[in-house]
Structure 1
């Protein structure tokens, strides 16, 4: 099998991808800024330190490292450094983890992700890019903040298609096996739900009662979400629904998908 370097391998998706690749018989190397256990390669995308060593003998790279708070050093410049090091190392297959709607949603982090995509596509390396919708865990973090309020504001017209991180990880592992494919079809979760529906599911799962009120949100960002720029309706996965994710996390049985 192949040796695969996973950037962001200590994060939510990176850990899942590493597990899938290991189960498939690949040798997995995790890029980390700090020394770790066996299989860890010390390197820093923000500076380029250690990248040449980390890429030695690597057949494929799954690039899932990202920093939404300050994306320039890791997502943009870090991707360019990774590309340059990969070319020096013998041109491994570069698999890039991206997000649905980054070319349609006006948000600085998404502009950085799009710049990273372009760096991968122009790299001269064999490459694959897969865009996925938001993971259940990220959706739950957002809903946890909203549902703490006495009245839960639900932006009117906003819809999300949360996806199981395990489903996304399995798709990336399969991509490594399949070889370079360019831009793959977008991947989303099995359901498209409004923020109000997601909030009701979250409230039910946490045993709380709150009034959920639809509120208008102006601006270009809101318009793009109302238009469904963040959705992948033709790429629905068969993974867990958001209700099933919440039930599994709570150790209970789901009682329905929406209110």
Structure 2
């Protein structure tokens, strides 16, 4: 099929941050979105309630059979993405859900475009020994790589997309929900970080939401299958020092002067023991340490397919630094607007 021929595309996780952005990029094609809850419905042609952990994805037999007749391609974006959950939840939702998506793809004779994570590379490199036994990212990336392998062994046509951590739209900084990068950044900008944990050689690799969505959508419409595509900036990503400078400058623009803190390889003695740090900040530092461990296990500098995507699918590659700055500004403005509204309501 050619990209200018209208087609029907099933999108799991349609109410998620990536799902909504992909749906926008797939207009004017007919997108049927699977969602897990009734709240904040995505802007797609049809919405169906679904549960990835249930037989037939929680769909009725009638809907399952109808989708098998109508669907031309499946974008499998739905997953349990929260880190630190018990393994059985990842197994049921991420691996079980992928297994059911494969069943539907086989019935529909449709390719699957699977949204994974770049961090599976730590397992591919056989570097899990570099992760602490309680690393919160470990079970999640294991479930994603297991799902990739299910798909690759299924006989169904596929593409696999491996994005790094998201920031907002490269032009506006917007996303439907703040992501882990934003949560970590907000905490840092409150001046709570006693140090910045980062393994030597690690880069801070983030990707704008619109770039991620465009790469996935154009991969769907190109019908060029059998690829693993790394949605990362690779050697062009920020250094840790550059990321800290962006955070310090953002704080200064918002009337909060925060100090630059030492960048510490967490394998070395920490300047302040974690046990001596207040609980909330300790939790944030633990996540940063765990992400740093995974990035180090991936080689510190991630593989990237961006040059290939720019040349082959005309995917943009805007400045990751500018996208990061705009994301920080966007969510700061959202919070300020909410506070202003609450203040007006109290006065009234």
Tell me the TM-score normalized by structure 2: 0.64
Distance 1:79 1:197 in 2: 38
Equivalent-residue separation in structure 2 for 1:154 and 1:223 (angstroms) = 10
Deviation of 1:95 (Å): 0.4
8-17 or 105-114, which deviates more: 105-114
- Which residue number in structure 1 is paired with residue 183 of structure 2? 141
What is the SS of the residue equivalent to 1:135? strand
- Listed as ranges, the gaps of 5+ residues in structure 2 are 1-5, 129-137, 168-178, 268-288, 308-315, 331-348
1:239-250 aligned at under 5 Å gives the runs 239-247=318-326, 250=329
List structure 1 segments (4+ residues) > 4 angstroms apart after TM superposition: 35-38, 219-224
Q: Give SS of 1:139's match.
A: helix
Deviation at 1:119, TM superposition (A): 1.1
Structure 1 residues 33 and 197: CA distance shift in structure 2, 3 A: same
Q: Does 1:177 align with 2:221?
A: yes
Match of 1:214 in 2: 263
Displacement of 1:229 after TM fit? Answer: 5.0
Sort the Cα spacing of 1:221 and 1:12 in 2 relative to 1 into closer, same or farther, 3 A: closer
Q: Which residue of 1 aligns with 2:240?
A: 195
Which has the higher Rg, Structure 1 or Structure 2?
2
The answer to whether 1:40 aligns with 2:47 is yes
Name which of 139, 148, 155 aligns with 1:117: 148
CA contact 2:160–2:229 (8 Å) conserved in 1: no
Distance 1:229 1:82, change over 3 A: farther
Q: CA deviation at 1:244?
A: 3.6
- Say which structure is richer in strand: 1
How far did 1:138 drift?
Answer: 3.4
Computed over aligned residues only, the root mean square deviation of the Cα atoms, in angstroms, reads: 2.7
For residues 328 and 196 of structure 2, what CA distance do their matches in structure 1 show?
A: 24
Per-residue CA distance 1:183-218 (angstroms, 9 max, x = gap): 233221384123332122122113232232111223
Aligned residues: 248
Alignment of 1:49-198 (within 5 A): 49-50=58-59, 53=63, 55-56=67-68, 57-69=70-82, 70=85, 71-88=90-107, 90-105=108-123, 106=128, 107-136=138-167, 137-148=179-190, 149-157=192-200, 158-189=202-233, 191-198=236-243
* Change in 2 beyond 3 A, CA 1:215/1:249: closer
Larger proportion of helix? 2
CA deviations on 1:133-189 (whole Å, 9 max, x unpaired) are 221243232222344315342324232221111011111111111115112332213
Change (3 A) 1:123 1:230: farther
| 2:46 is the counterpart of 1:28 | no
Is the contact made by 1:133 and 1:230 (CA closer than 8 Å) also made in structure 2? no
Give distance in 2, aligned partners of 1:5 and 1:92.
10
Corresponding residue number in structure 1 for 2:317: 238
